[in-house]
Structure 1
């Protein structure tokens, strides 16, 4: 009873397909693929400023300088 046989998995897959339908599952997988692609593109965009900095030799100050003002 502790392990699931192939028949259990087939019944689970059948119930999922009946509940969501083939079209809904393929749409969901397409959305997941778009999300992964966007995530990878975001990671690549984050690395581009570092590459530009290395090529030009210039540095970019990420945090603006904070000046202390005296309140009287």
Structure 2
């Protein structure tokens, strides 16, 4: 038993649904549902393949950027000037 619903109650509900919608309409709904599930599985499978391809690609080359020592420290210059200009 499924939560207090017997097999006979399920068959009665199924019979009412068939009478309301008809077998042709139910067959179309089943076909559409099956196609949607197949499409979903295919998309998930392709996504897994894309992830595998990304893992196989070689890493990008590392580029080093080195500048000569042409930087200018303004605060150090100001501190040096302040020490030189102090009254003695």
Q: Which runs of 4+ in 1 moved over 6 A?
A: none
Structure 1 unmatched runs, 5+:
60-72
Structure 1 CA distance for aligned equivalents of residues 7 and 55 of structure 2: 55
1:30-66: CA deviation from partner (whole Å, max 9, x where unpaired): 100000000011111211222112333346xxxxxxx
Q: Which has the higher contact order (CA 8 A, sep 6+)?
A: 1
Q: Is structure 2 residue 45 aligned with structure 1 residue 44?
A: yes
Larger radius of gyration: 2
Please give the TM-score of this superposition, normalised by the length of structure 1: 0.63
Count of paired positions = 58
